[in-house]
Amino acid sequence: MASPSQRPFGFWTATALVVGGMIGSGIFVLPGQLAPYGWTSVAAWIAGIAGAMLIAWVLARLTVAFPGATGVVAICGEGLGPVCGVLVGWSYWVGIWSANAVIALTAVRYLAQFVPALAATTLSLAVSATGLIWLLTLLNLGGARLAGLFQVTTTVLKLLPLVAVLLILAGVALTAGDGAPAAARPGFAWAELTPALTLAFFAIVGFEAASVAAERVRDPARNVVRATLFGLALTGALYIIVCSGIIFVLPTAPLAAAQAPFALFVATYWGGGAGLATAAFAAIAAIGALNGWTLVQGEVPLGMARAGLLPRWIGRTSARDVPIAMLLVSSALASLLVLSNATRSLGGLLDFMLRLTAAATIWLYVGACLTALIKRIVPAAAAAGLAFAGWALWGAGLEAVGLSLGLMVTALPLYLLRVAPD
């Protein structure tokens, strides 16, 4: 039986990992990105959350069926064979550190509202984001318990800007929209649903965090299931209300052009000071997400090594059971992505990395659904989840999907070395 130090996460910490992984940089920029889609964005949220609930249920039932597994990646290895397990897990790992690059850049952009020098040039922005990545890496080197406590704290704080928006929206509803700016609302369009879904799904990705880190959760057959479904339902409801509310209250054109849509919305009703406070909490949200994914980026290769899918040396840990080598490698790769921003446009980097992150992560969902189908575990939900994952992959675009496949196969040499002497 694992000791409390090896499984430090209970239900609330596991839920914080799910909520914290989802509420990062995505929701704080998506009102602007989805504004031009109008009613189509609402349909995209509903479709994305429904698809995620299907996949979350599959992940939860797999955790129950394999309570001794180190995580969903190891379960995929058992169901699909070790080669497929390695490829799926490695692709998911690529998605994590590429997402960390995007999240770090977003956090610094919000922090720069208070210290402009952090993002005065593209070089200073890249260096600041890299520094943030390594600060969170140092925190995680202190052990999963310390990182988990930080995650709970930042999860509570990151909910505050969402609560502020909910209060404003409630006030607008009670006054029947008196004083609200006239908002253009584009109608629903089938042709725009897939690209809108891709944008929305980036903010939903993260609901699988507790399943991936199941080895750290006490009584995973119970707590991972509850934390995943509860965290996804709570966050999904907030996303629909908050994002759609902002879109249908503010005019489309200025909202779509806003660098910080949440701050713009709050400042419109409560003044500039409140807008700056919102920017501060948005930065906290991104930092909290970066912390959670920094933890998971070490847990993924660790679980694969302990499951025999990668060389044993990758699974070596410190006295605090921290996979130091893989944490450092993951953060180094994320830093390389961030520093590449010094020679290319921020917009181009963010757009592509958003799609790459989505594509690389979705392969894990594909693997989980295929495993459930093979093992005859909730086959109807698994089939529906697989169809949804295919739809989301198509929306990510051929370039991002192609690169995700190329990065995925780089795991094969490590797999072949797994039986080599340490």
**For the domain that residue 356 is a member of, what is the CATH number?**
1.20.1740.10
pLDDT over 90 at 177, yes or no: no
pLDDT at 342: 67
Domain assignment of residue 190, yes or no:
yes
pLDDT higher for 182 or 47?
Answer: 47
pLDDT (tens digit per residue) in 278-304: 888 888 878 877 887 787 788 778 877
pLDDT over 70 at 145, yes or no: no
Q: Which residues on adjacent β-strands are paired with residue 9?
A: 217
pLDDT over 70 at 183, yes or no: no
pLDDT (tens digit per residue) in 314-339: 878 777 777 888 889 999 989 987 88
pLDDT at 227: 85
Q: Tokens 């893989």 label which residue?
A: 326
Domain assignment of residue 323, yes or no:
yes
Q: Which residues on adjacent β-strands are paired with residue 217?
A: 9
- Choice among 58-67, 162-171, 232-241, 409-418 with the minimum mean pLDDT: 162-171
Q: With pLDDT > 90 as the criterion, what percentage of the chain qualifies?
A: 15
Burial category of 347 from C-beta neighbours within 10 Å (exposed 0-12, middle 13-18, buried 19 and up): exposed
Which residue type occupies 248? F
Domain assignment of residue 47, yes or no:
yes
pLDDT (tens digit per residue) in 356-370: 888 888 998 999 999
pLDDT higher for 142 or 30?
Answer: 30
Domain assignment of residue 422, yes or no:
no
Which residue type occupies 273? G
Angle between helices 193-204 and 379-396 (to 10 degrees): 110
Confidence of residue 389 (pLDDT cuts 50, 70, 90): very high
> Which pair of structure tokens corresponds to residue 97?
């550190």
pLDDT at 176: 56
pLDDT (tens digit per residue) in 123-137: 888 899 999 999 989
Mean pLDDT in residue range 34-46? 90
Domain assignment of residue 4, yes or no:
no
> Which pair of structure tokens corresponds to residue 198?
């891709």
pLDDT at 1: 44
pLDDT higher for 172 or 57?
Answer: 57
Candidate ranges 215-224, 321-330, 336-345, 411-420; pick with highest mean pLDDT: 321-330
Candidate ranges 14-28, 249-263, 314-328, 402-416; pick with highest mean pLDDT: 402-416
Mean pLDDT in residue range 147-152? 64
Mean pLDDT in residue range 190-195? 88
Averaged pLDDT score across all residues of the chain = 81
Q: How many domains does the chain have?
A: 1
Burial category of 131 from C-beta neighbours within 10 Å (exposed 0-12, middle 13-18, buried 19 and up): middle
Q: With pLDDT > 70 as the criterion, what percentage of the chain qualifies?
A: 85
pLDDT higher for 85 or 211?
Answer: 85
Residue 384 is inside which H or E element, if any?
helix 379-396
Residues 6+ apart with CB under 8 A from 358: 95, 198, 201, 202, 205, 392, 396, 400
Candidate ranges 263-267, 347-351, 365-369; pick with highest mean pLDDT: 365-369
**Residue 9 neighbours by CB distance under 10 Å:** 26
pLDDT over 80 at 400, yes or no: yes
Domain assignment of residue 206, yes or no:
yes
Confidence of residue 182 (pLDDT cuts 50, 70, 90): very low
- Choice among 103-117, 146-160, 222-236, 256-270 with the minimum mean pLDDT: 146-160
pLDDT at 422: 44
> Which pair of structure tokens corresponds to residue 115?
């210290």
Domain assignment of residue 316, yes or no:
yes
Distance CA 17, CA 155 (A): 8
CB contact burial 306-340 (16+ within 10 A = b; e otherwise): bbebbbeebbebeeebbbebbbebbbebbbebbee
pLDDT over 60 at 5, yes or no: no
Mean pLDDT in residue range 249-262? 80
Give the angle subtended at the CA of 95 by the CAs of 94 and 97, to the nearest 5°: 70
Domain assignment of residue 5, yes or no:
no
**Which residues form the domain of 126?**
11-416
